[in-house]
Amino acid sequence: MSQLLSPEVLASRSAPLFGFWYPAVPSHRLRPGTMTALKMLDLPILLCRDRAGTLAAMRDLCPHRGMPMSFGRFDGELVECPYHGWQFDMKGRCQRIPALPEGGSFQCDKIGVATYPVEETDGMIWLYLADDRGNTDPLPPAPRMPLPSEPRQSFHISLTYTCTPDDGVIGLIDPVHGPYVHSWWRSDARMHEKTKIFEPIPHGFRMTAHRPAKNSGPFHWIERIYGGPLSTTIDFLLPNQRVELMQCGSVWLANRLMSTPVSDMECRIDFSAYWCGLHWLPFGNLIFRTLTKMFLGQDERAMKHLAVGLRHKPSSMFLGDADMPARWYYKLKAAHLESVQTGRPFDHPLKERVTLRWRS
């Protein structure tokens, strides 16, 4: 049955969600004494790590003339604008204006640029982008992966997709595009009906623990090798996270897939994988990384093709249980925005466990 979105949900479409932590860059990509420019949720951001390893994030625009400071220099302590040499410390406060005469009474540190809270967890640097309420005190904790133990291996991949913020997120949680976008992994000839149970979690929903599908051959190999059932749990969390944990005894594999808006038609996709076990698999990291790049590259192509159609501003259809996660995402987003605007508690749209059925 085709269903339309309610007016309040439609109003929230494509609006970026503020008031959350967003992934900036993997930790290893920002060495001590360096800076890098980012664009997130259409905001120009400068991310710095000083010589001692401390992180800072600030608006990448000099308050003097609006020059991006990322075109300037960073000596490990101060950022210097390339236009007139204004210098700013790690707290965004101006420390020097070269054009002012010596001995003047003007206090440079009264001038500053907006800064953003920054934290580092699970090998990722995170920025908190506040909503209209500003930075809450205390801030919510930065996201952490629910890992059962210390991972033995991990890797990270980033790609840029041509898509709207909403389509980027929906692509993370769509359960039925596999036989057509990733047909080499699971063809349409092997499609069959699946039943999954979902439950609400704070600011999201969970596909509860389940065994691998009949057409998920590689995961059944893991069960045979380790002699136990493999269970998979998949969480979606606002604003942009899909977290999957697979466990078979003491062996586990986890991944996190995130879609962060860059602009209204561009998203950065971050995939992080962690695992413990499979030490017998030669070149395991290389194999998993290569397969992941293939999957993400196929999704990137699908989003690029979808963007061609979206230029004509077509309406969207939501048909059957397979499209229910997308509907929940829009409702979660609308509920969050309503809570911010009205000050009322967040009203979760999913009230209890739900069983969904689809073919894939």
Distance CA 164, CA 142 (A): 25
Full residue range of the structural domain in which residue 77 is found: 20-129
97 and 201 co-located in one domain: no
The mean-pLDDT minimum among 69-78, 142-151, 182-191, 298-307 falls in 182-191
CATH of the domain at 56: 2.102.10.10
Structure tokens at 142: 């930065």
H/E segment holding residue 40: strand 34-40
In a domain, 13, yes or no: no
What is the pLDDT of the chain when averaged over all its residues?
A: 91
SS3 of residue 19 by DSSP: coil
Overall domain count for the chain = 2
125 and 220 co-located in one domain: no
Amino acid at 32: P
CATH of the domain at 172: 3.90.380.10
Tell me the pLDDT band of 104, cut-offs 50, 70 and 90.
confident
List, for residues 31-43, the tens digit of each pLDDT value: 999 999 999 999 9
Distance CA 259, CA 263 (A): 12
In a domain, 5, yes or no: no
List, for residues 115-164, the tens digit of each pLDDT value: 999 999 999 999 999 998 887 778 999 999 999 999 989 999 999 999 99
Q: Residues 272-300: what's their mean pLDDT?
A: 87
Please say which residue of 94, 129, 164 terminates a domain.
129
